[in-house]
Structure 1
Amino acid sequence: MIVRMTSAAARGLLVATLIMTPALLLPGLSSDSTQIVLLVALLAAVLTFVEYNSVFPSIVEFRDAAPFNRLRFTALLATVFLLSAILKGISAPTTMTTAMTAIGTVIGNAIDFPYSPVRLVVLMLPSDATYETVSFVRTAAGLAYMISLIAMTAFLVLVRVLNWPARSGAFNVWVNLPLFDPTAGGDVLERLQRDARINIALGFLLPFLVPAVVKMAADLIDPITLQNPQTLIWTISAWAFLPASIIMRGIAMGKIADMIEDKRRRAYAEAEREEQRIMQPA
């Protein structure tokens, strides 16, 4: 019990640190913004603690199938931290922020080719956007997208090469997929395979669809500017992280479907061998 509470408290603290990262790194934030960030961080920390301290799962998927959630959290933390550092370097440059900006600029320019997600993000900016805004958005989008690709590649290696999640022991579907109801109707294997395909397809399309939707709704929402640095950081981070997270979920669902199919195949083969043994004459 003490180990579970300590682990849950550590996870809650890490989530709160993630949410407060832009506010801690960026200068010149108003007191109202700081209070809102602290409130959101405290709420997220409490929810995380309650979720991981409870024996029964609620909404967090793959809770006991490490390192799925750890990999996603690390990718999001790296994205938010790097974008915050680059944005801080615009007004207060340091050696670290300059180096990160240079790396992000190289990556952003390399990925900024016609019809790429980064190019679509740049094109969704208003026509009167300043050079600093365009440059930062290109750098931030390229860096965030690269981090998401690295996270997906690492998880794919875990699944295909290191045999996740079987290498961690028995996989409990109820604990790790609390939102998946196996009694909802239809074959569980077919539903898992369908959900896997839908998640992968949706995750692939989102980086292309979101900029198009934002561009079409430009008259209804405020354009992206450097006037709201935290909003800009979280927007770019969500644009890159959510599709990667959805694709990773689809890969995980497909792996679980493969495990169930393999277990069924072995069970059917064992039953067939037992039936043949019984039917053999004495």
Structure 2
Amino acid sequence: MTQVVALISIFAAALTIFEYASVYPGIVEFRNAPPFNRLRFLALFLIVFMISVVIRGETSPSALTDMITDLGTGIGAAIDFPYSPVRQIVLLLPDDANLTHVDRVRTAAGISYFFSMLTLAIFYFCVRVKNWPLHRGPFNVWVNLPTFDPTTGGDVVQRLERDARFNIVVGFTMPFFIPAALKASENLFGQVTLENPQSMVWIVAAWAFLPSSLLMRGLAMGRIAALIERKRAIAGRDEMQPA
């Protein structure tokens, strides 16, 4: 398992280095529109790090592990209400799961969901207040949206708005859909226990990070569509003015 994680990390690092060192676009979206990717990387790092610290505190407690565990326990208890995403993760556990394991999963889910939503709130602030992505100059659609072809599929604004709505809807429902899908697939793949610490860290991190990443992408797509629409309106007014 360690070798597989190390190999994936090496490939991911190489892809990131080559992508950002290249002048031409590749597959990474919003490459030259910080802090979009920086926020996502920081959020995933903090989630994995803090859950790992909580688990380490069970065998090697310290002041740092106790502080983060208390913080995560408080967040998890506050968010764990009926029909909440954290409650869905807790209900995913077997009925005979011991209380310590349930508390660990609740704490990890609370940390993951809190930091994911905090990242989303920071990005929303950047869009609405900091005028993202124009705060650093003109926005290059070709470089920042390398997989988006503006020449096919109808009007660009409508396509961007459709993609924005799709990402927002999927991102909003995914924290509820993932536990339900795992619960429904127990007959095929077995019951999900999350007892393995490494599996628990990455499953819970992905459960919270992927939806927030999709929500951020939806906000970004909607913002780009609004900028293009505004540019068209300005160009139309300029054309209507007499020479």
User: Which interval holds the TM-score relative to the shorter structure?
Assistant: over 0.9
Give the structure-2-normalised TM-score: 0.97
* Aligned with 1:48 (options 5, 13, 16): 16
Q: Distance in 2 between matches of 1:223 and 1:229?
A: 16
Deviating beyond 4 angstroms after TM superposition, the runs of 4 or more aligned structure 1 residues are: none
Alpha-carbon contact 2:94-2:193 (below 8 Å) kept: no
Give aligned pairs, total. 243
1:244 and 2:192 correspond: no
* Aligned with 1:122 (options 70, 73, 90): 90
Q: In the alignment, what sits opposite 2:99?
A: 131
In terms of Rg, which structure is larger?
Answer: 1
Q: In the alignment, what sits opposite 1:191?
A: 159
Q: Distance in 1 between matches of 2:195 and 2:170?
A: 31
Higher relative contact order by CA 8 Å / sep ≥ 6: 1 or 2?
2
1:57 and 2:25 correspond: yes
Q: In the alignment, what sits opposite 1:96?
A: 64
Q: In the alignment, what sits opposite 2:144?
A: 176
1:221 and 2:192 correspond: no
Give the AA of the match of 1:142. G
Shift of 1:129: 1.7
1:230 and 2:192 correspond: no
RMSD: 1.2
Q: In the alignment, what sits opposite 2:53?
A: 85
1:200 and 2:168 correspond: yes
Q: Distance in 1 between matches of 2:234 and 2:86?
A: 46
- Percent of counterpart pairs with the same letter? 53
Shift of 1:128: 2.1
* Residue aligned with 2:188, SS: coil
Q: Distance in 2 between matches of 1:78 and 1:222?
A: 30
Change (3 A) 1:227 1:205: closer
* Aligned with 1:256 (options 191, 204, 224): 224
Q: Distance in 2 between matches of 1:85 and 1:178?
A: 37
1:142 and 2:106 correspond: no
Shift of 1:192: 0.5
Q: Distance in 2 between matches of 1:104 and 1:38?
A: 28
Q: Distance in 1 between matches of 2:128 and 2:164?
A: 15
* Residue aligned with 1:90, SS: coil
Which blocks of at least 5 consecutive residues in structure 2 are unaligned?
none
Give the AA of the match of 1:152. L
Give the AA of the match of 1:50. F
Give the AA of the match of 1:93. P
* Residue aligned with 1:251, SS: helix
Shift of 1:227: 4.2
Q: Distance in 2 between matches of 1:49 and 1:166?
A: 24
Which blocks of at least 5 consecutive residues in structure 1 are unaligned?
1-32, 278-282
Give the AA of the match of 2:99. Y
Give the structure-1-normalised TM-score: 0.84
**Cα distance per residue 1:40-66 (max 9 Å; x no partner):** 221211122221122211110000001
